[in-house]
Amino acid sequence: MSTDEFAASRPPMSDGEAIATAAGAKGLKPDVLSPLAAVTIGVASMAPGYSLAATMGLLAAAVGLAAPFLLIVSFVPMILVASGFYYMNRADPDCGETFIWTTRAFGAPVGWVIGFASVLASALVMGNLGQVASLYMLQLFGLQSLAASTFWVSVVGIAWIVAVGALVAVGIEVSKRAQYVLMGIQLGILLLFAAWALIKGIVAHPQGYAPIRLSQFFTTHLTGQQLAAGVTIAVFLYWGWDTVTAVNEESEDSSRMPGLAAVASAVLAAVLLIFVVVAAQSYHGAAFLAKNPDDVFAPLSRDVMGQPWDKLMLLCVFTSAVAVILTTLLTLTRQSLSMAAHKGLPSVFGKIHPKFMTPFWGTIIITGFAVAWFAFVTWFNVNLLYDAITGIGIMICLTYGGTGLAATVYYRRELLKSTRNFLLMGLAPTLGALLFALILVKVLIDLWNPANSYVTVLGLGGAFFMGAGTIVLGIVLMVIMWIFMPTFFRRRPETWPGEGQPIPYADERVE
């Protein structure tokens, strides 16, 4: 069916549908997020405080003082596929982002599996984020006995997930204001810590002090194994900048601004991460960071800032975890809303609350799933939370690489019309996709070995089981959905119809 025939076949809208269309194709509240709000959400989604606490020691163990170089190298595939995100958002500013864009490029079955992988990756990480928020809050208030209790850490973590779920359910404007506060606290403390560490290191030359050298940013002394291991770790630090495109229907200038904000978020986060890593490793050297892989900030902030100022870093990681719970739920609820609107999920996920203008019931269901997952893992083996974080690397590579390649495929008829089109619609996102494919192969090889996981499940390492298992589960569920909801799966791959031409299925709503 051509785009014109599709448009002509649509039945007249009811008054309620007309109101929904005026509010946004799916009923979300439009023009709520300014460029500043969008960039704030993008940076918050990368959780710089939490991510650095979890990975800076591992990065130092892998590559020593060359960590800044690895962050620069790892940024390359991110910025390349960001071009694909920008152009796909220009074509179709749909809150389903990766799901609907890969559907348009590769067809419904592939799009559904990749979209599901993106959704489930975010849902699985919620348990870990709740645990981190709980642990650091209890430590911040000096409740060390409760922080040492798995039960109480889980209870408080669940309470935070529920509280943030309620916040997301009642509206994007409330979430936006909360994010400004959380990000302000987090970024302020990180910048203060980094400046303090740099200045004090230069003045006091503490044990292990490593002055900043150009070789930390540009080096050829890493082995291929070190490079691969470092990039695999560093990719996790950047995950989340694309959240901006999941709230595109609620953003100003929805076809253009979210794509630009996604690129800006990635760039700002890269600068911040490199600055903090340089400061941290210069103070005591890379060996000190490598000896504290679980949380480098606790011992380092004590030495740099002293008591009681070191408590600020606990506050930083706590607010970072809460902020990313919020942005993760925003992404999850919008992606599942889009899947429901396009008839790829049950319609309950797409029902918009008439007052709050949010996917209210979808938010309740997803929050409930996150709580149930957190409770189950705590009961089964809490270490599976850490394996889930590692396994998510598989989904990150699949969703980012898939979206980058989708841009090239979708715009394939436009690539040779100008140099700009060839470079930004074709070459850049394709190179990014290829780099993510290489990272994916490396991750799969590493995680196949159970020794690289905390837990063994069915003879496989927990991380491999969580990552690859999600893809297998997605394929199984896709087949089930195809049987019971076949309408969506009748869609075929598409190409960009041209500027000013209607895009098929772009105005779908849950009936």
User: What domain count does the chain have?
Assistant: 1
Query: Which residues have C-beta within 8 Å of that of residue 1, sequence separation ≥ 6?
Result: 9, 504
Angle between helix 311-341 and helix 360-380 axes, rounded to 10 deg:
120
Pseudo-torsion of CA 127, 446, 43, 371, nearest 10°?
-10
C-alpha pair distances (Å), 427 with each of 114, 254, 409: 22, 25, 11
Instruction: Tell me if 273 is assigned to some domain.
Output: yes
Compute the mean pLDDT over every residue in the chain, rounded to the nearest whole number: 83
Beta bridge partners of 328: none
The answer on pLDDT for 259 being more than 50 is yes
List pLDDT tens digits, range 44-55: 877 788 888 877
The per-residue pLDDT for 103 is: 94
The two three-digit tokens of residue 482, written as one number: 């195809």
Predicted confidence band of residue 403 (pLDDT cuts 50, 70, 90):
very high
CB crowding 412-421: b at 16 or more within 10 Å, else e: eebbeeeeeb
- pTM of the predicted protein model: 0.85
The answer on pLDDT for 422 being more than 70 is yes
CA distance 501 to 227: 45
Predicted confidence band of residue 220 (pLDDT cuts 50, 70, 90):
low
What's the average model confidence in pLDDT over 341-360?
83
Predicted confidence band of residue 413 (pLDDT cuts 50, 70, 90):
very high
- 199-208, 292-301, 340-349: which has the minimum mean pLDDT? 292-301
Instruction: Tell me if 356 is assigned to some domain.
Output: yes
Pseudo-torsion of CA 386, 389, 393, 396, nearest 10°?
170
Residue 283 CA to its chain's centroid (Å): 30
- 62-71, 107-116, 217-226, 436-445: which has the minimum mean pLDDT? 217-226
The per-residue pLDDT for 497 is: 84
Predicted confidence band of residue 253 (pLDDT cuts 50, 70, 90):
confident
248, 94 contact by CB (below 8 A): yes
80, 402 contact by CB (below 8 A): no
Instruction: Tell me if 230 is assigned to some domain.
Output: yes
Beta bridge partners of 219: none
List pLDDT tens digits, range 148-184: 888 888 899 999 999 988 888 887 777 778 878 888 8
Backbone angles phi, psi at 236, to 5 degrees: -60, -35
- Cβ neighbours, 10 Å, residue 2: 11
List pLDDT tens digits, range 123-142: 888 888 888 888 888 888 88
Instruction: Tell me if 341 is assigned to some domain.
Output: yes
Domain carrying residue 361:
40-381
Pseudo-torsion of CA 436, 41, 116, 24, nearest 10°?
-130
Pseudo-torsion of CA 289, 292, 294, 298, nearest 10°?
-90
Which sign does the torsion angle of CA 312, 314, 320, 323 carry?
negative
Instruction: Tell me if 396 is assigned to some domain.
Output: no
Instruction: Tell me if 342 is assigned to some domain.
Output: yes
The answer on pLDDT for 247 being more than 90 is no
The two three-digit tokens of residue 279, written as one number: 């400061």
The residue among 64, 95, 127 whose CA lies nearest residue 378 is 127
- Cβ neighbours, 10 Å, residue 348: 14
CATH of the domain at 274: 1.20.1740.10
The answer on pLDDT for 21 being more than 50 is no
The answer on pLDDT for 119 being more than 50 is yes
The answer on pLDDT for 9 being more than 70 is no
CA distance 175 to 154: 24
Query: Which residues have C-beta within 8 Å of that of residue 125, sequence separation ≥ 6?
Result: 328, 388, 389, 392
Angle between helix 67-91 and helix 428-448 axes, rounded to 10 deg:
120
C-alpha pair distances (Å), 253 with each of 328, 430, 436, 458, 503: 22, 26, 30, 49, 18
